[in-house]
Amino acid sequence: MIADLPPGLILILGALVAPMIPAGLRRFYILALPALALWQLLALPAGVHGQVEMFGQILIFLRVDPLAEAFGIIFLIAAFIAAIYGWHEEEVLQHAAALIYAGAAIGAVFAGDLVTLFIFWELTAIASVFLIWARRTEPAYWSGMRYLVIQIGSGVILLAGIVLHYHATGSIAFGALGLVSPGTMLIFVAFGIKCAFPLLHNWLQDSYPEATVFGAVVLSAFTTKMAVYALARGFAGTEILIWIGAVMTVFPIFYAVIEDDLRRVLAYSLNIQLGFMVVGVGIGTELALNGAVAHAFTHILYKALLFMSIGAVLYRTGTAKASELGGLWKSMPLTAIFCLIGCASISAVPLFSGFVSKSLILSAAGKGGHLIPWLMLLTASAGVLAYSALKIPFFAFFAHDSGKRPAEAPASMLIAMGLAAVLSVGIGVWPAGLHALLPFPVDYHTYTASHVLTQMQLLLFGALGFAVLMRNRLYPQQLPATNLDSDWLYRRVCPLVLRSIRDIVRQVHGNVLRRARIRLQRFIATVYRHHGPQGALARTWPAGSMVLWVAVLLCITLIFSYVE
């Protein structure tokens, strides 16, 4: 039984015990859990284990294959790094939420059937919202509410899809699904919500920047990559994904350029990087799927690294807004260096991790002859400097001096950032290590002279473009503002429509009620007139007149009887 223990369950059950452990020991305990789960994961033999019969269905809690393993490993590495980063965080709630969240994401990745997937799919939503609420601000509370509604909504759509799919096929197996029936289409939409497809994306930019310093790092790793995994499992080679992904890589760029809150910039940038993975899944060849998985792997590391470095800035200065920062490298040099390593990785500079993974996807797009998606990916690859890789370090650590001289980040944060940085550079220098973890055999040479040269050209000229814009003051000034995005629809338009409907209903209801009341009053007045104290029918008559009337009636009866 122990041999079949799902690694995700180690984190979930371990988290439930965490509050009972003394605070001093707890920190080590929280670090040990992901390490233990990784140990268990690596010991699992390939194949299907942990079957449980429930409701007449066989639920598979452990389907171990290379695709699931790759995601499981990076999720556990991310959980471990986040645990180090959160060393300073005293609040046990956040650690427990993070562990359950990570455990649920890992559980979803190893789920062999759709019902098990659904259980963990919803658990990630419920556990993760506490990382937002833990900020304990009014905006965080409301943002968390919106996040929860959308995330749970995704789960409900998934469940509806599973029911329809089961009804149509009689199977709950989670394998390749394809867009073939209403059931699988609903499942696709459910995955799309968590994967932040265009127009379904805004929960991400809304909620992650509202989370705690520690929470944002944890959030950045799991939900969206779990969705990428689910798409890779269920919808590999679905052509529409190429276009969805390509749009995802381009349109958030504009928002990222003008956004002032650097953690929100990172959220937009996360969205763009997801687009690369979605394109890879959509192309669906072995090279492309390897690329999608590799990019999820490297992306989790460098995105966590970037969230950690900006989180450290927020932790020390109390703000993550570009308009309020600048010149921090003078007092936070190590954080600045780690941030730059993250930026080099995200922009795919040779010898950094992004170069290894992004090139697989671009090559797959090229080999498949997808010219327009390829150009869109190339646009995002060049634009990355303008919207994040140069923008973020420039405004946070360089640019004009804000006069802020915060202390360097705490040692625990530096260790976590250092670990993510070492792994990012390690993958860049030694791609074979990452290649070994990918689901399909890799026959790809990352470092060819032509490839390195063209990528360096793309980036250097992109940097030159950024410099030219800065010198000529053409780069948008960083200003605190709200930029309308698709959330405007449900935060402004929907309430407005609902409010107008409410007003109309209220008015009609009021009118009907008023008229009804007038009629009722009239009716009561009539009844009162006849039956009230002075009403003709309610008067008290003297006995004499009663006798007279009885005599009159008897007379009439007598007359009638004679007439007959």
Q: Residues interacting with other proteins, by CB under 8 A?
A: 139, 253-255, 257-258, 330, 363, 366-367, 371, 374, 378-379, 382-383, 385-387, 401, 403, 448-450, 453-469, 471, 474-476, 479-485, 491-492
Q: Confirm if 352 and 358 have CB atoms less than 8 A apart.
A: no
- What does the alpha-carbon distance between residue 353 and residue 549 come to, in Å, rounded to a whole number? 112
Q: Least distance from C-beta 293 to other proteins, angstroms?
A: 22
Q: Which is nearer to other proteins, 215 or 462 (CB)?
A: 462
Is 472 or 561 the residue whose CB approaches other proteins more closely? 472
Distance in Å, CB of 25 to other proteins, minimum? 43
State the Cα–Cα distance between residues 279 and 281, nearest whole angstrom: 5
Q: Distance between CA atoms of 1 and 112, rounded to whole angstroms?
A: 18
**What is residue 137's DSSP assignment?**
-
Measured from the CB of residue 482, what is the shortest distance to other proteins in angstroms?
4
Residue 36 vs 452, nearer CB to other proteins: 452
In the complex, the smallest distance separating the C-beta of residue 308 from other proteins, rounded to whole angstroms, is: 25
Query: Is the separation of the CB atoms in 265 and 391 below 8 Å?
Result: yes
Supply the minimum distance, in Å, between the C-beta of residue 140 and other proteins. Answer: 13
Q: Which two tokens stand for residue 409?
A: 């980040």
Which run of H or E residues covers position 213? helix 213-221
Q: Could you tell me whether strands 47-54 and 57-64 are parallel, antiparallel, or unpaired per DSSP bridges?
A: antiparallel
Q: How far is the CB of 408 from other proteins (least distance, A)?
A: 17
d(CA 545, CA 503): 60
Q: Is 54 helix (H, G, I), strand (E, B) or coil?
A: strand
> In the complex with other proteins, which residue's Cβ is closer, 113 or 259?
259
Which structure tokens are listed for 561?
A: 């009887």
Pick 330 or 517: Cβ nearer other proteins: 330
How far is Cα of residue 70 from the mean position of the Cα atoms in its chain? 21
Site of tokens 């020390």: 316
Nearer to other proteins, 270 or 365 (CB): 365
Question: Nearest-CA neighbor of 295 among 70, 35, 134?
Answer: 70
| Contact criterion met (CB below 8 Å) for 13 and 104 | no
CB of 306 to other proteins, least distance (A): 20
Q: What is the DSSP string of 260-288?
A: -BHHHHHHHHHHHHHHHHHHHHHH-SHHH
Indicate the length of the chain as a whole number. 564
Minimum distance of other proteins from residue 128's CB (angstroms): 22
Which residue's CB is nearer to other proteins, number 333 or number 441? 333
Based on CB atoms, which residue is closest to other proteins, 35 or 496? 496
